[in-house]
Amino acid sequence: MAVHGYVSPGFAPVRAAFEGLFDEGLELGAGFAAIRDGETVVDLWGGFSDRQRTRAWSRDTLAPLYSTTKPIAALVVALLCDAGDLAYDMAIADVWPEFAANGKAEITLAMAMSHQAGLPGFVEPIDPALWLDPPALAAALAPLAPLWPPGGACGYHPITWGYIIAEVVRRVSPRTLGAILRDDICAPRGIDVRIGLPEADDARVAEVMRPSQLPDLGAMTPIKRAAFLEKWSAPDRSDAAWPRVESPSANGFGGAHAVAQVFSFFAEGGAVGGDRLVSRETYAEAIASRIAGPDLVLPFTLDWRAGVLGNSNGFYGPNRDALGHSGWGGSCGFGDPATGVSAAYVMNKQSHHLMGDPRALRLIEALYQCL
């Protein structure tokens, strides 16, 4: 398959690694981009954006990002904290009183953003249509009892994370989280990322090829089942209404270069393209390690920050100060302050890897060989 795009002098090994993924039949369509100190050093794309292989993947193809959306949403929270509308150490119940029910009065925003709230999913059945109505889904979460003592452990909240965060934003702002991302972060900088898809962009979105096997979650528990495996654990993504839903957990869309632009926030210490978004103090709070240890949902030991992961597992390059996140099927984005590099990988042929997709690891390894 033809690969298109640009690599700076000295970065030819990245192009070779990217082409290799197609040569080996590991991709349908994909993009990979890297930015260093505000300069694009890699911007590659190739393959097809549809399963029938009739539409070429282009630079403006929008890939579903799944959970790579979470740190993008976290930038909006950082903006609101910097403005004084929110605070990482505030109790969520301060702005959302109903959330205090069943022992949740002391759960802070930072605890929820670092997956400590004990609400990774619903044990009892719910109408899956609730996922299409964020305020209604949030109202269903509010009375729940945590599945573990909040703050005592981390357990990945694959979908509920975004509904908690979106409701907190809704309680303090006249604009939705997605609207703030668009108006205050992306549009002024020409960044082509969004949470929730405008109908006008439907034709640009890549069709997803689902993985042929289930991910390995390790020994099954009721907590893992609630998070991932119940019939009501996730929205029906085939519903025509789903693309429009502003789910900060999993409904982001963007190309590799645009996602790398957003993740430069973590490479530049709270700035994007040299344009500071939040104070250094707010940035330090946003990336502070909140809890590190075995995750109760994912089969990894993880270092959770406020909506983004520390690089304790080496998924995002060799430098442990890097910050990143992965999405269902293989996408990822990260920023590395040690090198000033941010990068993103997106694709539409999903794998079963929960994090550390081997395709992304190959590209990231090639990138670091060139630095």
Q: What are the pLDDT digits (tens) for 311-366?
A: 999 999 999 999 999 999 999 999 999 999 999 999 999 999 999 999 999 999 99
Q: Which segments within 67-192 are labelled E, that is strand? A: none
**Contact call for residues 270 and 158 (beta carbons, < 8 A):** no
Beta bridge partners of 334: 324, 343
Predicted TM-score (pTM) of this structure = 0.97
pLDDT < 70: residue spans in the chain = none
d(CA 93, CA 91): 5
Grouping H, G, I as helix, E, B as strand and the rest as coil, residue 371 is: coil
Q: Give 302's contacts (C-beta < 8 A, 6+ positions apart).
A: 154, 156, 292, 293, 295, 309, 310, 312, 313
If you search the block for the tokens 């970065």, which residue do you land on? 11
pLDDT of residue 114: 98
**Contact call for residues 277 and 265 (beta carbons, < 8 A):** yes
d(CA 190, CA 33): 16
pLDDT > 70 in the chain, percent? 100
| 14 sits in which H/E element | helix 12-23
Of 39, 70, 31, the residue nearest 340 (C-alpha) = 39
Q: What is the CA 64 to chain-centroid distance, rounded?
A: 10
Domains of the chain: 3-369 (3.40.710.10)
As given in the structure block, the two tokens for residue 142 are: 């509010």
pLDDT of residue 2: 86
**Contact call for residues 79 and 185 (beta carbons, < 8 A):** yes
If you search the block for the tokens 């550390």, which residue do you land on? 356
Beta bridge partners of 310: 323
- CB burial of 253-267 (b: ≥16 within 10 Å; e: otherwise) equals bbbbbbbbbbbbbbb
pLDDT of residue 214: 86
As given in the structure block, the two tokens for residue 353 are: 């890897």
Q: What are the tens digits of pLDDT across the range 220-240?
A: 999 999 999 999 999 999 999
d(CA 281, CA 108): 18
pLDDT of residue 20: 98
pLDDT of residue 52: 97
DSSP assignment letter at 279: -
pLDDT of residue 1: 75
Question: Strands across the sheet with 193-195, in order?
Answer: 63-64, 252-254, 193-195
Grouping H, G, I as helix, E, B as strand and the rest as coil, residue 47 is: strand
Q: What are the tens digits of pLDDT across the range 175-187?
A: 999 999 999 999 9
As given in the structure block, the two tokens for residue 137 are: 């889904």
